[in-house]
């Protein structure tokens, strides 16, 4: 089939990858002048892949397929953009998110090492022993490198004959006719269209506002105190720091920076609004992390990266069939790790027409 993919985040790139492997004629449209779009959810240096899930056990099961799909992609790319540095969780109070992730590992039967507070702070001296109840290390998982994955996927797709159009914003879609209208007025028709437009999807398909809400957040890259630099470089990913901030940390592995992010920082916004960081925003995000980290004021703010993403009410992934269009969103702040697997599943769903099966898989039911 002749298939268009609108949006070259990880969902669009990996859908194009899988559709091409299935023998379809694929054209990928990206509004940004270059892929990856640094303002999209898949444009940053690193993202976490982890086994631990606090509540949604279906995703904890699906993660095996996610690891396997990444392995297929690494084989095709001839390189691996993943550092399996392991994942650490921290609990500050009973029933906090760090505690919930630990219970998730128990339910999944996934092994971990449990450290009481003093032992955790001895192993990871950036932790404040007085602020935590315990920490646990799961050796599975680590950091994926989205910007590098995007650049290499673009190269691979072009080599394999996918037409990639950068700086090509889609302005309108006729879902029944399978027609795209570009911002400059050009029109193109396809047998099927996959819309993987991330936080911009509501501009193309406003009816999806019933299911998808758009948020802005920001993450901060930090320069740690001199004596903690080597320790951070050897640290695992921190999936949750406990307490009430929904906070996570990506260590400076493999040439990346030390990044702190917190779920409480997100606010409802349209994707092109408030993209410049506010004055003092980096310090605000950094300071959420005291506790459980010691010496937080000694961390210097290097830069702040803003980001737009969508959420569903129940935080599960989303797809909807509208005429010839399949709109898909592996969203709610946890979709990157499933990127390659999502692409394979969306491609299979578009080819077979089994949209019910696709949605069931995306929702990890
Ligand atoms: C701060 C932050 C931290 C996160 N951390 C993690 C994590 O640790 N682990 C994890 O698994 N997930 C994480 N996520 C979630 C993950 O990043 C997203 O689920 C995933 O990147 C979404 O990819 P996507 O392809 O659906 O969307 P995007 O990456 O947003 O891609 C959409 C693309 O479509 C393009 N586009 C939009 N409209 C048009 C148009 N009209 N015409 C042409 N192109 C268009 C955009 O320019 C963009 O390139 C995080 C998200 C954020 C924001």
* All structural domains of the chain with their residue ranges: 2-44+145-207+314-362, 87-139+213-311
Q: Give CA–CA dist 58/45, Å, rounded.
A: 27
User: And the tokens for 355?
Assistant: 């949209």
Q: Is the CB of 13 under 6 A from ligand 1?
A: no
Q: Give CA–CA dist 239/250, Å, rounded.
A: 9
The residues of the chain scoring below 70 in pLDDT are none
CA 87-310-177 angle, to 5 degrees, is 130
pLDDT of residue 288: 98
Q: Is the CB of 219 under 6 A from ligand 1?
A: yes
Residue count of the chain: 365
Residue nearest (by alpha carbon) to ligand 1 atom 9: 48
Beta-bridged to residue 216, according to DSSP, are 267, 308
Q: Which atom in ligand 1 lies closest to the alpha carbon of residue 13?
A: 25
**Residue 330 CA, ligand 1 centroid: distance in Å:** 8
pLDDT of residue 99: 97
Q: Is the CB of 348 under 6 A from ligand 1?
A: no
Q: Which atom in ligand 1 lies closest to the alpha carbon of residue 11?
A: 25
Q: Give CA–CA dist 147/35, Å, rounded.
A: 8
Q: Is the CB of 309 under 6 A from ligand 1?
A: yes
Please tell me whether residue 127 adopts helix, strand or coil conformation.
strand
Could you report the per-residue pLDDT of 14-63, keeping only the tens digit for each? Answer: 999 999 999 999 999 999 999 999 999 999 999 999 998 988 889 999 99
Q: Is the CB of 296 under 6 A from ligand 1?
A: no
Q: Is the CB of 261 under 6 A from ligand 1?
A: yes
Q: Which CATH number fits domain 2-44+145-207+314-362: 3.50.50.60, 2.40.10.220, 3.40.718.10, 3.30.500.10?
A: 3.50.50.60
Please tell me whether residue 26 adopts helix, strand or coil conformation.
strand
pLDDT of residue 321: 98
What dihedral angle (degrees, nearest 10) is formed by the CA atoms of 139, 145, 148, 151?
A: 110
Query: Do 2-44+145-207+314-362 and 87-139+213-311 share a fold?
Result: no
Please tell me whether residue 246 adopts helix, strand or coil conformation.
coil
Q: Which CATH number fits domain 87-139+213-311: 3.40.50.300, 3.40.710.10, 1.10.10.60, 3.30.9.10?
A: 3.30.9.10
Q: Is the CB of 271 under 6 A from ligand 1?
A: no
pLDDT of residue 55: 83
**Residue 38 CA, ligand 1 centroid: distance in Å:** 10
**Residues 334-357, buried b or exposed e (16+ Cβ, 10 A)?**
bbbbbbbbbbbbbbbbbbeeeeee
CA 199-54-42 angle, to 5 degrees, is 25
Q: Is the CB of 333 under 6 A from ligand 1?
A: yes
């Amino acid at each position: 089939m002749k298939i268009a993919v609108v949006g070259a985040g990880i969902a669009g790139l990996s859908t194009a990858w899988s559709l091409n492997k299935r023998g379809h004629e694929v054209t990928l449209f990206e509004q940004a002048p270059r892929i990856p779009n640094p303002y999209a959810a898949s444009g940053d240096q690193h993202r976490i892949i982890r086994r631990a899930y606090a509540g949604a056990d279906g995703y904890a099961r699906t993660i095996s397929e996610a690891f396997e799909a990444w392995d297929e992609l690494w084989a095709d790319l001839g390189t691996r953009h993943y550092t399996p540095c392991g994942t650490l969780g921290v609990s500050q109070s009973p029933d906090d998110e760090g505690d919930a992730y630990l219970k998730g590992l128990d339910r999944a039967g996934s092994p971990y090492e449990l450290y009481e507070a003093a032992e955790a702070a001895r192993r990871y001296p950036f932790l404040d022993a007085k602020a935590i109840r315990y920490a646990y290390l799961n050796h599975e998982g680590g950091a994926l490198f989205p910007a590098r994955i995007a650049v290499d996927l673009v190269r691979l797709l072009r080599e394999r004959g996918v037409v990639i159009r950068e700086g090509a914003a889609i302005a309108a879609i006729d879902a029944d006719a399978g027609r795209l209208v570009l911002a400059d007025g050009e029109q193109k028709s396809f047998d099927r269209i996959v819309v993987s437009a991330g936080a911009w999807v509501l501009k193309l398909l406003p009816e999806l506002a019933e299911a998808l809400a758009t948020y802005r957040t920001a993450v901060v890259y930090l320069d740690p105190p001199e004596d903690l630099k080597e320790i951070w470089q050897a640290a695992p990913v921190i999936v949750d720091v406990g307490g009430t901030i929904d906070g996570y940390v990506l260590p400076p592995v493999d040439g990346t920076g030390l990044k702190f992010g917190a779920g409480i920082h997100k606010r409802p916004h349209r994707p092109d609004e408030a993209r410049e960081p506010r004055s003092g925003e980096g310090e605000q995000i950094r300071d959420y992390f005291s506790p459980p980290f010691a010496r937080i004021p000694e961390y210097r703010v290097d830069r702040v990266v803003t980001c737009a993403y969508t959420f569903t009410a129940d935080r599960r992934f989303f797809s909807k069939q509208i005429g010839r269009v399949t709109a898909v969103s592996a969203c709610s702040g946890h979709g990157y790790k499933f990127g390659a697997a999502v692409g394979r599943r969306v491609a299979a769903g578009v080819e077979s027409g089994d949209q019910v099966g696709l949605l069931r898989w995306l929702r990890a039911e």
